[in-house]
Amino acid sequence: MSVLSYAANTWGGEMYASHIGNNKYMITYKAYQNCGSGSKLPDTTNIKCYAGTSYSCGTVSIKASKISVRDLTYKCSTGTSCKFGAPISEVIYQCTADLNSKVYTSLLSGSCQEITFFATGWFMPFGSCYSAGGTESVVATTLYIGNLNRCKSKTNIAPALFFDPIRNIRINQKITIAQGLVDTSEYDWLHFQLSPSMYQVPFNNKTCSATPNSNYLNPFTPYCNPAAIQCTPNKNTSPIQGTLFDTMSGDLSFYPTVADEKSIISYRIMEYRRDSTGKWTLIAKHTREIGAITFDANGTNEAPSILWGSGISKTCVGTSVKSKIFDITDFPVPGQSKVDSLLVIVPKNIKGGILKVYSSSINQSAIELNWNPSLTDTAYIPYLFPIKIIDQHCDPPLEMSITHLFTIYPKPDGEPLVSYLGCNKLALQVKNLRGGPDVKCTWQVNDANGKLVATSKSVKDTLFLNGPGKYNVQALFSNRGLCFKSWDTSFNIIDTLTSFHLGGKTLITDTINCPNATYLAEPFDLVGKNATLSYQWYALDQTLAYGYKDPRKIPTNALKKIATSKNLSILPRSDTAFLLSITDNQGCIESRELRIIQIFSKALSWKKKPLEPICASNPPFKLIDPLNKDMSTGDFFTNIRCLNGKYLDSIGPNYYKVKAPAKPNTGEKISLFLVASFDTLGCISRDTNTIDVVYSPLFNLNKEIKICTSDSGFCLSTAVTKPATKAKPFEWSIISKPSKSPAQLLSTTINHCKGIHLITHFDSIALGKYVISACAIDSALGCRSCDTTTIISKSKWTFVYVGDSVLCPNDPPVQLHKFNKVTSGESSDSIYSMTFYDINGESKPNFNPSQLVDTKNGILFPRIATGKLRIAFSPQKYCYADGLVLLRIQDTLAIKSTVTPDSIIRLPKTSFTFTANTISSRVWWDFGSGLNADTSTLNPITWSFENKPASYRVKVRSFNTNTCYGESQIKVFVLPVTALQLFDLNAKIANNLLLVSSYWTLEKLEVFDLKGKRVYFNTTNQGVPINVIPYGVYIYRLHAQNAKNQVIKTGTWVNVLD
């Protein structure tokens, strides 16, 4: 038989040719048959071959034998192969072709350097087309012998199949159909194409045309946005749109939408290999036609899904890879009673790359790629890792497949050469640059501060530096695989001109020039190495000005020289460019470029100056429209500013509102200065104007006034601190008041003030805060001016005297203000003054009241008088209450005291007898020692003091029933005996009481009558002169002292000197 018989129908097929040694090839033809086919395929079939691109080079026919039959349908233990989906049987035919035999060498001669093997048959018809007999099918494989002979390996082995393609396709779920092919022999580059088939694509059970459909790029009906004009493939939509085919991996991805479509997916698989020149050349081509069917699982199952993962990855030689590439799961659907377990099919080893499968549960798996590639693994065409996942479901199991592409790039490398040429020039070169596709070297030069000086992406280049100093040169090698290698070196230069600038701190400076403006160009930041510098200015046309990124590379031999001075003054009339070259005495040249853009702007003017005045009190204020009203020349780019401050608001294009500034301290208006301008790239056309903001009439109110609730009304005219002039009378109004106050403004007269008053009650003003407004209108522009005042009505502050109201004459002076507490918290002496009011009802007592009450200092002296005392407190501030403070000074009982035998005694005597003369029934003695035990309540009492010389002040008090006391004091002395004895031995008192002694000195002499009254006193030791006191009997007391002692001599003296 020449071909498969008409009745022996197939549903796709594929053909490969693989070298088996000695230039012999095994031709393998796989024919696929649906289990519903009417007849079995024969045991043998014919395979034809021809050389060249057509039959013109001759043909040969070979008989191929059936070597195997295999059921391709995955099914569980309870499934049946023909129940559901697309159960397929694979029939394999094989034969050999010895290309060294004359049969083939005669064909492969001259230009006939390709040989093609092919088989023909009939596609299986479906449905109503069965009687039509189907359509002819063709599968083939081609070896490009001429191209193979130019390669190092001159034979070829076809790619290995790791798993069968998916044939049962569930609709409404993204599906990816992987080839499952890898060239594990030579690792040639496999390139995949979708190609036309003789089969109608897809067959829809409605048409039976024998002409194949031209839409082979969409073998099934994919999802397409209904709004899209064309169904352009797009993987980023959800769901994906159209049919996506990856020519590198051969993966076909789409989102099927129509059930029961039967189709043939027709592939062409091209193998490419590098020839002896390193170019990729086509060495083989294989045909693959895969039959498949779509179906609706009706919610009973869903194919496994790839949750996460990228189909492409890469690495560099020497970098170990151990990374997860896919997460896979099988989602249960409502019609499933349990989740499906997963079968994951991966190649065990692809040239050292190993895929490992990990399962966290029966329906979840992860795939990890492990590889430590060496230099021999380098491949710029990706390695293919086909993966297939099958759920263990019945009738039928569903599948997902994908191909992972993995590329290994070498580390880039080269031999950098850096040399300084002098005059700021640095030569860079990379020799033997290597590292795979897109290998390149990027240069970067930095100064000592790390600032970028220059860059280059050329293998060989010359860069300019910035003068003397230290530089760091870095080279970065890279390739398409993002593999990197860095290199750097540093050096120092001292023999060049330091960089200079023209305007900006860059090699090229762009600037603008305004109309009629002269531009002065000069270099700055210029430092020479103790060199004599020469300057040369060149004119540049626009082509040269914008044609070079580095002005130091502009050739100057054809440029027009225009000046040799350091500075250049120019008056541009158009866009202009210049080049300045500076040469030092070593011949080194540095150049910078200056580009000047000439700007033109038009004039601007106001129609009227000044603008009409406006009232500050009449919003909205003056509206300025420069485009249509207020300017003779203006456009949409006109801008108006107020020089006084932010008193202009833009409320639209060329539309401004004037805002009033704060009220002036003096004067009735403020003139705002306005500037209108065009800004054309920095060139300004402008014109100025003014507008007066009028504040007439000017007046001021007191901002806050405090009044008392006891006032019957408040006259509002008293709140005016600065009256208005040339204005109508004030318009008063209440802006706010306390919530329950019946406040109103009435015209009346209170306390001689006639006019508008704030009134709340007949005799008082309710507590709270009142905000009152006054407005006035002038008689000129009719400007209205208003101001407000706040009136606070508060209660009077009072006082309370908290000191003792009952006093004794012996009490210390009382600070009255200290005990007078004001309810406002202020000190009494800052608010009140005091006056004596009366004592015992007498406002004019028989003594000076100021002795009792010091009203200036606020002090009361109780010892002056007794009885009922009233003191008046008068406020010195507004809204404070006045009043009287009532005090009572109680009586005391009089007391006097005597002492015997005398107030002076001599040791060893230490006792005195004290007697109190009073009508009080209770007395109390204090004997002046400072000890609490040295007191007594006896009367009379004899008291002994310490046995030593001393003096004591003895007090006695008489107590009244009102707790006040009277007091008397007497001083006594205890003198040493030894001193008196010495006095008696060394001194003599004459008849006139003159002290006669050379050892004692008179301190003082006192003479008392018998009643104890002192009648004579002397300190000059002249005794008692004649006729000073009458004759009679007296008591004398003579005080004398020497260096160590002091004595008092007493005695009775009879004065007979008269």
CA distance 985 to 663: 103
CA distance 709 to 769: 11
pLDDT exceeds cutoff 50 at 353: yes
CA distance 659 to 615: 10
In contact, 454 and 464? CB cutoff 8 Å: yes
Condensed to tens digits (0 to 9), the pLDDT of residues 185-206 reads: 888 999 999 988 766 566 554 4
Query: What pLDDT, on a 0 to 100 scale, did the predictor assign at position 717?
Result: 86
Query: What pLDDT, on a 0 to 100 scale, did the predictor assign at position 156?
Result: 94
Over residues 431-455, mean pLDDT: 93
729-763 burial code (b ≥16 CB/10 A, e <16): ebebeeeebeeebebeeeeeeeeeeebbbbbbeee
**Runs of H (alpha helix) within 917-976:** none
Query: What pLDDT, on a 0 to 100 scale, did the predictor assign at position 872?
Result: 92
Q: How confident is the model at residue 129 (pLDDT cuts 50, 70, 90)?
A: very low
Query: What pLDDT, on a 0 to 100 scale, did the predictor assign at position 644?
Result: 86
pLDDT exceeding 70 applies to what percent of the chain? 92
CA distance 254 to 243: 5
- At CA 64, angle to CA 109 and CA 66, rounded to 5? 155
Condensed to tens digits (0 to 9), the pLDDT of residues 63-72 reads: 999 999 888 7
428 Cα distance to chain centroid: 44
Query: What pLDDT, on a 0 to 100 scale, did the predictor assign at position 6?
Result: 53
Query: What pLDDT, on a 0 to 100 scale, did the predictor assign at position 264?
Result: 87
Structure tokens at 279: 């170019």
Q: Which of 108-122, 805-819, 860-874, 967-981 has the lowest mean pLDDT?
A: 967-981
CA distance 434 to 418: 18
CA distance 348 to 328: 18
Q: Which helix (H) or strand (E) holds 292?
A: strand 280-295
Q: How confident is the model at residue 210 (pLDDT cuts 50, 70, 90)?
A: very low
Over residues 636-663, mean pLDDT: 82
Q: Which of 75-89, 96-110, 862-876, 890-904 has the lowest mean pLDDT?
A: 75-89
Condensed to tens digits (0 to 9), the pLDDT of residues 131-159 reads: 344 567 789 999 999 999 999 999 999 99
Helix (H, G, I), strand (E, B) or coil at 864: helix
- Residues 173, 179, 182, 187: what is their CA dihedral angle, to the nearest 10 degrees? -110
Condensed to tens digits (0 to 9), the pLDDT of residues 213-267 reads: 457 888 888 888 877 667 788 888 889 988 999 999 999 999 999 888 888 899 9
Q: How confident is the model at residue 41 (pLDDT cuts 50, 70, 90)?
A: confident
Over residues 207-211, mean pLDDT: 41
Question: Taking the alpha carbons of 539, 542, 548, 549 in that order, is the dihedral positive or negative?
Answer: positive
**DSSP structure string for 591-639:** EEEEEEEEP-----EESSSSEEEEETTSSS--EE-TTTTSEEE--TT-E
Which residues of 856-1013 form beta strands (DSSP E)? 859-860, 867-875, 883-889, 895-900, 904-906, 911-918, 923-926, 935-936, 941-944, 950-959, 965-975, 988-989, 995-996, 1001-1008
Sequence letter at residue 506: T
Structure tokens at 695: 């504040």
Query: What pLDDT, on a 0 to 100 scale, did the predictor assign at position 214?
Result: 54
Over residues 599-605, mean pLDDT: 75
Query: What pLDDT, on a 0 to 100 scale, did the predictor assign at position 209?
Result: 42
Helix (H, G, I), strand (E, B) or coil at 694: strand
What burial class does residue 328 get, using C-beta atoms within 10 Å of its C-beta: 0-12 exposed, 13-18 middle, 19+ buried?
buried
Sequence letter at residue 318: G
Residue 588 DSSP symbol: -
Phi, psi of 490 (to 5 degrees): -130, 150
Phi, psi of 400 (to 5 degrees): -135, 140
Distance (Å) of CA 881 to CA 430, 823, 831, 1007: 104, 10, 10, 62
Query: What pLDDT, on a 0 to 100 scale, did the predictor assign at position 529?
Result: 59
Count of beta carbons in the 10 Å neighbourhood of residue 472: 15
Which residues share a beta bridge with 536? 581
Query: What pLDDT, on a 0 to 100 scale, did the predictor assign at position 205?
Result: 45
CA distance 568 to 592: 14
Which residues of 919-975 form beta strands (DSSP E)? 923-926, 935-936, 941-944, 950-959, 965-975
pLDDT exceeds cutoff 90 at 472: yes
Provide the mean pLDDT of the chain: 85
- Residues 801, 802, 805, 807: what is their CA dihedral angle, to the nearest 10 degrees? -120
Which residues share a beta bridge with 1006? 1017, 1037
pLDDT exceeds cutoff 50 at 800: yes
CA distance 257 to 244: 15
Q: How confident is the model at residue 180 (pLDDT cuts 50, 70, 90)?
A: very high
Condensed to tens digits (0 to 9), the pLDDT of residues 459-468 reads: 999 998 888 8
| SS3 readout for 11-47 | CEEEEEEEEEECCEEEEEEEEEEECCCCCCCCCEEEE
More confidently predicted of 526 and 259: 259
Structure tokens at 986: 């060394």
- Edge-to-edge strand order for the sheet containing 623-624? 623-624, 655-658, 648-652
1005-1040 burial code (b ≥16 CB/10 A, e <16): bbbbeeeeeebbebeebebbeeeebeeeebbbbbbb
Query: What pLDDT, on a 0 to 100 scale, did the predictor assign at position 229?
Result: 64
Q: How confident is the model at residue 795 (pLDDT cuts 50, 70, 90)?
A: confident
**Residue closest to 885 by CA, chosen among 824, 825, 826, 815:** 815
Task: Give every CB contact of residue 699 below 8 A, 6+ residues apart in sequence.
Answer: 720, 722, 723, 724, 727, 774, 776, 785, 787
Residue 125 DSSP symbol: P
Task: Give every CB contact of residue 207 below 8 A, 6+ residues apart in sequence.
Answer: 200
Distance (Å) of CA 79 to CA 86, 100, 395, 400, 438: 13, 50, 5, 20, 54
Condensed to tens digits (0 to 9), the pLDDT of residues 884-929 reads: 999 888 888 788 888 898 888 877 788 999 998 988 888 888 888 8
**Residue closest to 406 by CA, chosen among 384, 376, 422, 437:** 384
Distance (Å) of CA 607 to CA 630, 631, 670, 684: 6, 5, 22, 19
CA distance 409 to 377: 9
Distance (Å) of CA 444 to CA 327, 428, 452, 489, 592: 42, 10, 7, 11, 21
In contact, 89 and 70? CB cutoff 8 Å: yes
Query: What pLDDT, on a 0 to 100 scale, did the predictor assign at position 497?
Result: 66
Q: Of 176-190, 483-497, 697-711, where does the model show the most confidence? A: 176-190
**Residue closest to 358 by CA, chosen among 406, 323, 382, 311:** 323
Structure tokens at 75: 């099914």
Q: Which helix (H) or strand (E) holds 980?
A: helix 977-986
Q: What is the CA radius of gyration of the chain?
A: 64
Over residues 333-345, mean pLDDT: 82
